[in-house]
Structure 1
Amino acid sequence: MSADTGEQGAVRTRGAAVKVAVRWLLIAVAVFFLGRALYLQWPAVSDALAEIPLGAAVASVVAAALAVSISGQQQRSILAALGHRLPLRPWMRVFYLAQLGKYVPGTAWAYVAQMELGRKKGIDRASSVLAILLGAGLTVLLALVAGLLVLGAPSLSWLPVAAQVAVVVLAAAAVLVLAVRPGVVGAVTRRVPALASRLGEVFPAAGSLRPAIGWSAAAWGAYGVHLWLLAAPTGLTGADGLRLAVGGFAIAWVCGFLAVLVPAGVGVREAVLVGLLAGSIGSGPALAVAVLSRFLIIAAEVGLLALVPFLPSAVGGRSGAATVVEP
């Protein structure tokens, strides 16, 4: 072996070591901010727990875990439509690790983490970027459609009912187009100069987005049940309570999502939830429910990540790579 070959091997080894170190450093930073968020919220959470029965909190965290899992399946189904099929366990490891990035200031960290972790599983960056964009778009659109459940709510009186209806109708129309003609995504990306070089090639005709649309709708249902289980002991009961919980959580999430400089929309989502729920259960219980909801969703995400190594091998190997198929 020549000296040049040996030197090149040493450089590659050092480069790989640096990448591993940077990856673990980013995970450590994300865990730090996550722990900080939990620590800062605990005083309010402990007060909220005194008002909400333990059984309701346990049932709520189970519903939150289901909602997070469904959200992960939405992204996985979009990647399958793009031609990348990843076994369940490796995908869960990618998705739940990436979720830690939400708690680092700046919305993009979770997406960057998902893209880089996916690359390790054989998913090219262009496919990851498009899956993330489509996933975010579908999530927002379905959340706005869920807003139909709270049309005309007193807390939304600042926005004329006609405007509320228009938003819901436009969102529903966009979802319908994506369900019937998914190839429109490729047509659009090819016409945007910044995206045309790679993304238009990734999604020329596109596989069906209907599974992803179904997963998105199911996720909002599960998140709404999570919130309703917490709020029911404070008076948000029956079908009307469930309706308000589903629609209210979806609208509050969109507001938090649009606050791009706030980690995971902390504070914004809670403020909107309080405004939507206060008229039904009072501002004090509404604040307790909103804060506890955030805490339990974080607990669900951490718990799901911790469970990944214990999944049976039947759902995919620990380091399984994506299978590339024709969309």
Structure 2
Amino acid sequence: MDAQPAVPGPPLGSEAGSGEPMTVEPDVADTDARQVAPPAPARTRKAVVIAWAKRVLIVAVLAAAVYSVYSQWDEVYPTLIALPWPSLALSLVAVFAGIFLGPLVWKIVLSDLGAPVRFMDASKFYLVGQLGKYIPGAVWAVLLSMELAREAGVNRARSFTAGLVATGMGVLASLIAGLAALPVMLGGRPESNQLLWLFLLLAVGLPFLHPRLLTWSVNLVLKVLRKRPLESQFTAGKILKALGAAVAIYLCYGVHLWLLVDSLGSPRLDTLVLSAGAMALSMTAGLLAFFLPSGLGARELVITATIATVLPLPQAIALALVSRLMFTVADLAAAGAAALLAYVQKRRGVPAPVPAED
């Protein structure tokens, strides 16, 4: 049988037998996907704006903190060089110990809120977020902490609620520690008597340590924010752990001030109790004076009025300023250390938490 000659087929790109170019129909699924997909440029612009807003905010709070150190240097320097260096070093260590207990309180509260985080993640958004207090108005510290917590896998509603609970526990812990300074305040300088009303907050806040009442109040906040309520109520064990850690913070701060006071006078153990009470009350006064950068002035007033009962007034004022300087330096160093460690972990490929969806 003879081989049949090959019949040429239609040219590529044309229909069979027509000789007309074939029109290639676009894939329907691809067309639908292109129509459904959101426009990338708009989303990219939003991400760029948010990223730059974060950078500007961080630069602003760092500048404010550095200026706080610079503006007080002339008043602090004479007393600073008169203090023994061992006392200064140990005092600064006590400040760092108290600062690094702060993330632990947040970690405990967030775990009870159903949003457990690693201690390093809590350190990052807490320590860096705390720099926002150096800008007048508490809103900056809250916004910065919420945004950083979101990158750690905690949505804004949970981080905002945890911030309220942790702050409330901090106030109660400070007033509990501040009871140690109450006798001195009652018989001390008139300025300290004006702060006695702070202890009314203790009577109001203590009932909220009950798990049911605390859960109800948190769910009320979440309802106002139009967020889902807590899946379970707070536990007494976690509440006591967070409160204990908060009290330990003020004990560390008390040791910090006690080392400074005793370096200028004869060592007295009773000044440790006085110093713890003074630091605790000064922190609460500074928190309530949220319109001032990091409570500037309010903290120094309480420390000066209390420490002036055991030291001459000029020395008490100088120690209050030295304490302010040491806290500012420690805040900057702690935030820098947390940010640096996060960067190192990222470079080493340590898995980062998935940012939360609000």
Query: Is contact 2:103-2:119 (8 Å) kept?
Result: no
Query: In structure 1, which of residues 232, 250, 268 is the aligned counterpart of residue 280 of structure 2?
Result: 250
Check 1:134–1:88 CA distance in 2 against 1; reply closer, same or farther (3 A cut): same
Query: In structure 2, which of residues 248, 266, 269 is the aligned counterpart of residue 239 of structure 1?
Result: 269
Relative contact order higher in (CA < 8 Å, ≥ 6 apart): 1
Which residue is 1:183 aligned to? Answer: 212
Query: In structure 1, which of residues 188, 197, 217 is the aligned counterpart of residue 226 of structure 2?
Result: 197
What secondary structure sits across from 1:297 in the alignment? helix
Which residue is 1:134 aligned to? Answer: 165
Which residue is 1:217 aligned to? Answer: 247
Which residue is 1:320 aligned to? Answer: 352
Check 1:136–1:194 CA distance in 2 against 1; reply closer, same or farther (3 A cut): same
User: Could you list the per-position Cα deviations for residues 125-152 of structure 1 after superposition, in whole angstroms to 9, with x for gaps in the alignment?
Assistant: 1111111111111111111111221122
Q: Which amino acid in the other structure matches residue 353 of structure 2?
A: A
Query: In structure 2, which of residues 284, 296, 319 is the aligned counterpart of residue 289 of structure 1?
Result: 319
What secondary structure sits across from 1:320 in the alignment? coil
Rounded to whole Å, the distance in 2 between the matches of 1:92 and 1:317 is: 19
TM-score, structure 1 length as denominator? 0.86
1:155 aligns with 2:188: yes
Check 1:105–1:177 CA distance in 2 against 1; reply closer, same or farther (3 A cut): closer
Q: Which amino acid in the other structure matches residue 284 of structure 2?
A: V
Q: Which amino acid in the other structure matches residue 72 of structure 2?
A: Q
Query: In structure 1, which of residues 96, 101, 115 is the aligned counterpart of residue 127 of structure 2?
Result: 96
Q: Which amino acid in the other structure matches residue 187 of structure 1?
A: W
What secondary structure sits across from 1:280 in the alignment? coil
User: Could you list the per-position Cα deviations for residues 252-281 of structure 1 after superposition, in whole angstroms to 9, with x for gaps in the alignment?
Assistant: 111111112101101111011111111211
Between Structure 1 and Structure 2, the one with more helix by share is 1
Which residue is 1:275 aligned to? Answer: 305
Query: Is contact 1:44-1:291 (8 Å) kept?
Result: yes
Identify the range of structure 1 (190-199 vs 131-140) with the bigger mean alpha-carbon deviation: 190-199
TM-score, structure 2 length as denominator? 0.79
Q: CA deviation at 1:204?
A: 4.7
The sequence identity of aligned pairs, in percent, is 27
Bigger radius of gyration among the two: 2
Which residue is 2:25 aligned to? Answer: none
Check 1:170–1:26 CA distance in 2 against 1; reply closer, same or farther (3 A cut): closer
Rounded to whole Å, the distance in 2 between the matches of 1:34 and 1:159 is: 27
Query: Is contact 1:30-1:101 (8 Å) kept?
Result: yes
Q: Which amino acid in the other structure matches residue 306 of structure 2?
A: L
Rounded to whole Å, the distance in 2 between the matches of 1:117 and 1:295 is: 26
Aligned length: 317
Give 1:296-307 correspondences, 5 Å limit. Answer: 296-307=326-337
Indicate the RMSD between aligned Cα atoms, in angstroms: 3.1
